[in-house]
Each structure stands twice: as structure tokens, then as C-alpha cells.
Chains A and B, each alone.
Chain A
Amino acid sequence: MAGLKLADITMKYGSLVALNNISFECHEGEFFTLFGPSGAGKTTTLELVAGIKKPTKGEIFIGERRVNDLTPDRRDVAMVFENYALYPHFTVYENVAFPLTSSRRKEKLTPSQKRERVDEITTLLGIHELLDRKPQQLSGGQKQRVSLARAMVRRPEAYLLDEPIAHLDAQLKVSARSTLKQFAHQRGTTILYVTHNYREALGLSDRILALRKGNIEQIGTPEEIYESPASDFVARLMGDPPINLVDVEIVSENGKVFFQADRDFRFPMRQGLLPKLEGISWEEDGKRVVRIGVRPKHVRVSLQKLSDASFQLPVYVAVREAEGNTITFELTNSFFLAKVDSSVHPEVGENVWVEIDQDNLYLFRKSVELTK
């Protein structure tokens, strides 16, 4: 195993800049995730490490080796794509052993060594008793673990995984996630992982790199990324339903400061927030404006007035979730969602009281456009 290092990497396709001078390090044994929406440059980054593409500028290291000039097969990394179908006429054993028989392999294994490798990985993934079966005799979850075993049977310096479980059903995804994480932990593998799914990014990673149009937006542990997002861009990629972002005017009245958006969306600012507005808020049409972020679970909704900081809004719609309800309100420039328990189920158009938990309020500069 080895760590990976990218130094001042720029990647251009013609005039399009896919990666804009990025540098980061994935330590040996680390599960490191490149996270962002499509077009962020995640797959390009992976392809550069694999050697499928050459960077316009910058250096790539695998361990101590500078690999810029090495062909893919000499870099000793294993790349796994989203789509890895099994060979239907091969048994599970033959499917998993296949990468070990490739004629291009530098490392020649004896049949018994091969057997050992396959035994080890399939035992770890809990599919050892299935070795003689054909793919069509397997359940969806078993097939997925066979694919994973085939990808992992090699022992490269690092694994490069591009959305390896994105195509699975929701429930299989949950089990695939924990299988993958357990594998990484037990083997101490270096993994560079690409996903646009925040649950995978949070659940799997030691650290996450949030990419935005070829630029690094933030690098941190899952806890850091979730609890302290560096920007409105990062914040709204995390969570389902996602965080509410609202641009509010900062209004001073009789020595009190209010946040206000629309006529009814208005509440007094909690003490202590004022200094934080400095350098974040901006001027717009002669008004002082800041972007607030509040997660739906930090919004309270009630038929009764909750406090002096609560305000009334008409319900746009109430939707049932597995646990509790999501109440949606319509503001001029965005929707505003509250996650409440199932006892709160107001009618469409009904006026309810809304209170925002300001201990869990984020303040952002404006870096993404809000849409409805």
C-alpha cells in the first residue's frame, strides 16, 4: 500500500479547465473521497492517478514514485468503475480469480497462491460458500459482493473506485457501504473514492474533498464537512432533505436586529451573531443581506405560537416521510422545509408558527444561485 499525492494539477480539455491547480494528499491506508456534483472533476482526477489521462500541468506521486511518465499498467493501482458485470458462464471462483490470470500482470502467481488470494477475499466478503455457483444463481447482494471481490483480489498500491455502488437498490447500497468500509479497515487499504452521494461520502470516508468545477472547496473529516461546511455549496450537498438557504435582509429596529426575507419570514437575531456577520454579509439594493442556512430538523412548527422569535407562514404542502413529516413553505426565491414529528400534519394553506433554532444557524456568503 502507498499514499497518493497530487501537486498543482491542472487539467484542460481545449479551453475548458476541468481541474484548476489542485493539490491534495491521500495518506497510506486512508479512505479518501472526492465528492461533488457531476462536472466537478472527480472522475478526471481518478483517471489522472490511474494514468488513463495525462495532466496539463502538475505532478502525481504514488508513494515516493513520481508516476507522470508511467503507463497505467506500471502504476500498480486498481481502478473500478460503476459498471462491472460478471461473466455469466464463469463460476464465482473464476470470476473473482480472473484479474489474477491477466497476461499483463507483472506478478505471476501459482495456482495455489491464486486459490489462497480468492479464498481470503471471498471469506472476508462472506461469499466463500458460493464459489462454485454461476452468477444467475446469486441474489443481487451476492452478485455485488462478487464484483467487489473481483475488484479487490489484486493487491495494488491503491484502489481507485468510481461510484462502485451507485447502481444498487437503496437497501443493497446500505449493506454494500458497510461491506466496503469493513474491507478497507481490515486490509488497511488506500482508497481514492468518487461519489456524488452524500451518504456514501459521510459513511465511508476518513476524509472528504469537496470539488466544485475543478476547484477544491473543502477538505475535512465527515464530521467537519457536515458540521462546519465551508460554503453554501458544500452545505447544500449534504442531507436529505437538504439544508434551507435563505437570503435575509439585516434590519435594525429600536435597537433590535431582525432577519427578514419576504413579508412574513422575519425573526429577531439571536444575541452574539452580530459580529459574525462582519465580512460575510453584502450590500444589495441598498440593503444589508446575508445568506442563512438552517437544516430542516432545526425548524420547529406548531399550531400555537412558539416564542417571540417565531413567525407565521402558510403551509405549501405537508409530505409524510418514513419518520415524521416534512412541511414545505414557499418563499419568493426558494422553498423552506421543516422536518417535524408525525403528530404535526397541517393542511395546505393553513397558517402555522415557525421557529428557527438559531444555535444551529449557519451564515454564508453567496456562492450558489438559489432556485425553486
Chain B
Amino acid sequence: MSTVEAKYVWKIYDEDVIAVKDASFRCENEEFVAVLGPSGCGKSSILRMIAGLEDITKGEMFFDGKVVNNLSPRDRNVALAFESYALYPPLSVYENIAFPLHARGLDKNEIRSKVQDIVDALELSDVLKRKPSKLSGGQQQRVSLARALVRDPSVLLLDEPLSHMDQRVRAVIRARIRRIHDELSTTTIYVTHDQEEAVALADKIIVMNLGVIQQIGTADDLFNYPSTQFVAGFIGEPSMNFLGGRVESQNRLAVRNGDKSVSWAIAEDIPSSHINTGVVVGIRPDKLEASKTSTSSGIRAKVDVVEFLGDYRILTLSLGEKVIKTIVPTDFSVSIDDTLWLTGLPEAIHVFEEKSGEALIKAKK
């Protein structure tokens, strides 16, 4: 078990391609941390620098307070699982899991008891004699996980574990991975581009974009208090809507509505220095109140698309050039070309500075 800490870490390829810029974060002992971002955000470079597969250009990486920059992957005692770390097809499940222990020269009985412990925890006892090709996708992933965990690593690194899984089994595998972590308490770092996955599994999420850490926080922090417009737009599906606006007073916004604007109340005060400046107004699709009759605070929008998704409907509306999405219950009857008036719920409105994209309210520092 270990803490992992990065201090001012940079990764620069070919002298001028900056993959990771000045990243600092800390994973506590036994914590489940996700590194989340779109492709090319630098998350895989972070993972590889923790594992020791990639040199650190500048800055320091610590395991339990000790610098590991110059330690080989083996001496760091980290374990990698999934995606690109395939199982050995000719070996049985038991042999696959025991493999790293043989490589270490442990004796047979010791190996047997360690493998037994881990397959019990991962519920693989029934398939020990099978070959990987005879396993379901979920079982293969558990074997991969068992093989990573059997050597009792200080840190477990998971690389996009569920991205290619059928969604029917994903919920169950998510539950299993979280349960395994809760039982074994290995410090775990999980790299993914899938925000749903990160939210479901991690205690703490590090959001990256273009090599820069955008925010570190719990799922609730990121969802309710995004510190930048990027984080706000990346977390949540469908994405947060962004509208043009201007600060009227500390608790009122003028939100652009075609050529005119409407006034929205907000629940938290904006610093007075921003009065009369242009801002980006953010509102999640499920936090818009839709009315079929004209309201003074409603932005007027035309329904272009209605999608039934089982538990709710997603409406896509046009607002001049802008497209906006809102979620309504399935019993809200609405058709294409209807006009709706939409008002943001005051306590759910986010406001971002136009240039920097930084949150002016609802930001957790």
C-alpha cells in the first residue's frame, strides 16, 4: 500500500511536444483515483510515468514520500491491468495468475495459497482450469485483475478497463471492481476517457485537458462545482448547455435570447467587479424548466428533435443559431416545431468568465 504524489511533473516529447504540463496531485493510501480526459489530454503519459515506463522530463514522482524518478518499473512494485495487457492464451487461468509469482521464484505452496486468496476474492475459483478463450469478457478482465493483484502491488494501475465491454455487463463489472477495491484496499489509479466510468468508480477524479490538470475533486465536486467551463462541459451527459450572457447585478444575469435577452436570477452572488461584463451561462439539460406558454424569464426556443430514452425524453431545441438540450419526463407531451420557454433553476446556474472559462460562482477551490 502506498501514497502516490506528483510534484510539478512535466512530460515533453521531442523537446517541444508538451504532453503533461506542471502536474501536481496526490493519491492517498487505499484511495481509488481516476485520471479522466479526452484523447490526447496526457492521461496515459501520467499513467506511464507512475508505472516507470516513461521518463519524467521535469518534476518529481513520490511513492510513500520517496522519489521514484529513477526506479525501474519492477522496483516501484506497481501492477498494470487490462486493455493492452492480454492474458497468455495457452496457459490456464491458474497458470496465468500464478505467472508473476513463478517469475519471482516463490515456492509452489506459497504460490498456491496466494492464488487461492485472490481467486476467492474475485470469484474465479470455478474457472481455474479453463483457458482464457473459454471465458466471458468479464471473466477475462477479472483474471487480468487477479494477475495484477496477486503480487500484492503498492499501486494498481488500470487502463481503460471497461471501455469495450457490452453495456449489459458493464454495471456488474463496475460493481465488482469497486467491491474488490473496497475489500483489498489497494491504492488504485484508473485512466479513462469515460466520465460515467470515472464517476462510478473513483473516490477522487483528476480531470485533464491538453496536458493540464483542470480540476481535482470528488464526483459531486466536479458535477456541482466545476471550476472551468471545460470540466462543466465534459462531466454529465447530455452536456451542459452554454449560453451567452451579461452580468446585470450580483444576483441577476441577462441571458441572450435572439436579439433580446431575458433576466435570470441566480442563487449565489457574483463578485461585483464583473457587473456589466460578458459571461458564459451554463445550465444542465435537466435543470431547465420548460413551459409551453410564454414566461417573462423564459428563453424562447423551437423544438427540433424529440428522443424517447425510456425513463425520460431529450429535447433538442434551436435558439437562433444555438442548439440547446433539455430533459423532460416521458409524460410531458411535446412535438417537433413546438415553441417552449426555458428558464434555468437559480440554484443550478453556472457562470464562467468569457475569456479564461473560469467559474465565477459555484466553484470549489
Which residues does A use to contact B, with CB under 8 Å?
37, 169-171, 174-175, 177-178, 181-182, 185, 197-199, 202-204, 222-223, 226, 236-242, 297, 316-317, 319-323, 326, 328, 335, 337, 342, 348, 371-372
Contacts and interface: CB of A to CB of B under 8 A. Distances in A.
B309 A171 contact: no
Interface string B275-319: 000000000001000000000000000001101111100101000
B307 A204 contact: yes
B179 interface: yes
Name A's interface SS: mixed
A202 B196 contact: no
Nearest to A199: B309
B223 A177 contact: no
Looking at B182, B233, B235, B308, the one whose CB has the most chain A CB atoms below 10 A away is B308
B219 interface: yes
Q: Give the bracket for the number of chain B residues in contact with chain A.
A: 35 or more
B301 to A, nearest CB: 14
Contact of B168 (A175, A177, A178, A237): A237
B200 interface: yes
Contact of B304 (A182, A222, A240): A182
B156 to A, nearest CB: 17
B193 interface: yes
Contacts of A199: 309
Contacts of B304: 178, 182
Contacts of B176: 317
A240 B196 CA distance: 11
B305 A348 contact: no
A371 B136 contact: yes
A177 B219 contact: no
B175 interface: yes
A128 to B, nearest CB: 12
A169 to B, nearest CB: 7
A297 B176 CA distance: 20
Nearest to A171: B239
Given A174-B239, A182-B316, A240 B171 contact: yes
A251 B3 CA distance: 53
Interface in B135-180: 136, 166-168, 170-172, 174-176, 178-179
Q: Which 3 A-B pairs have the closest CB atoms?
A: A203-B307, A241-B171, A317-B179
Nearest to A241: B171
Nearest to B316: A178
